[in-house]
Structure 1
Amino acid sequence: MPAYHSSLTAPKSIAKMGVMPLKTKFKGPAPTISDVEEQDIIDEAIYYFKANVFFKSFEVKSDADRTLIYLTLYVSECLKKVQRSPSKGEAKKSIATLAVTQFDIPGDTKYPLNSFMGKPVNRQEADQLRQYMTQLRQELGQRLVDKVFESDTAKPSKWWLCFVKRRFMDKSLSGPGA
């Protein structure tokens, strides 16, 4: 059975990563979607996470797939943070901090997906890519916390936390051994 791929098309790419339209309130270079019913790449990443996380390989069919790969790995990082959070409020704080902390982008030596992505052609493109990835991380983190915690007082769902130790494509955004 093949992995689930993105059904969306990227209107623009930076370093072979699709810059997808988002339903977001966070500032960044991604075009915004005004229709709340329309599905965006973050909806796909959350929806397909539980199925895709089991795959050790992933055939890239489009630049949107590269964005989906990155977001799937980022969901794993978020779940690690959520696991250590006693409440929804604490989880939102730790995820918000994770989203804006320094991280590697394609082309950096420690970036785990360099074999799938390109390198920004100049400093301006690298800055734009970092802003886009920050915007993705912020929006995905907030939506994921709302999904993992059914209510404000509840503990995180065990049906999400059971995927914490899974490694999609045997990769991790936090580096080896993390």
Structure 2
Amino acid sequence: MPAYHSSFNEDPETRLVGNMSVLPIRTKIRGPAPTADPSTADILDETLDLFRANSLFRNFEIKGPADRLLIVLILFISDCLAKIGSMRSPPAQIEASKTLNTLAVDNFPLPGDATFPLNSHYATPGSRADAEYLRQYLTQARQELAARLVERLYADGTGKPSKWWMSFQKRRFMNRSLGS
């Protein structure tokens, strides 16, 4: 059974930085990301929907530039779940939100950096300005993704993270992690 790929791969008007798509997102967080139509799903919704199914795969065939963005975002969700799971006791929603927001804005490697785990599949951004734009875009996307993840983790109203999401905290998509 093949992995699930991004539906945004065929979008011809997508800006590319290196060989990764910069797709519109629905967010109130300031940043360089293009704004998406509020009535449609964006790449962050797609990432959250595909995370659990795709995290079961060790191999993933990249079929387009949006898949590269999807991979980075899935690995970030995996790191978020691992961060929440490593806390001494299950955090309340506000504490989890603060923790994941801090993780989202922490310094992280970009394609082309020596510590980026998937350099063989990603092209280095063409210039320093492109690299800075990509960093700002990914930071904005990570912040919004962390906020949406917390909403899904605590959707049941019990004050504890969902066991159905937390069961994926030790599973590694493609046996990789963005964390150090």
Counterpart for residue 147 of structure 1: 152
| Alpha-carbon distance in 1 for matches of 2:156, 2:60 | 34
Counterpart for residue 2 of structure 2: 2
Counterpart for residue 47 of structure 2: 45
Q: Say how many residue pairs are matched.
A: 174
Shift of 1:82: 2.4
TM-score, normalised via structure 1 length: 0.93
- Superposed CA RMSD: 1.3
Counterpart for residue 158 of structure 1: 163
Identity %: 50
Greater shift in the superposed pair: 46-55 or 75-84? 75-84
Asked if 1 retains the 8 angstrom alpha-carbon contact of 2:82 and 2:169, the reply is yes
* 1:112-163 deviation per Cα after TM superposition (whole angstroms, max 9, x unaligned): 1111111012111110010011011101000000001125651000000000
2:75 is the alignment partner of 1:70 = no
| Alpha-carbon distance in 2 for matches of 1:82, 1:143 | 15
Asked if 1 retains the 8 angstrom alpha-carbon contact of 2:156 and 2:162, the reply is no
Shift of 1:81: 2.1
Stretches of structure 1 that go unaligned for 5 or more consecutive residues are none
Counterpart for residue 12 of structure 1: 15
Counterpart for residue 35 of structure 2: 32
| Alpha-carbon distance in 1 for matches of 2:157, 2:91 | 11
* 1:77-116 deviation per Cα after TM superposition (whole angstroms, max 9, x unaligned): 1111222252000000001100111111111000011111
Stretches of structure 2 that go unaligned for 5 or more consecutive residues are none
**What SS class does the counterpart of residue 73 from structure 2 fall into?**
helix
Counterpart for residue 125 of structure 1: 130
Counterpart for residue 25 of structure 2: 22
| Alpha-carbon distance in 2 for matches of 1:153, 1:101 | 29
**What SS class does the counterpart of residue 115 from structure 1 fall into?**
helix
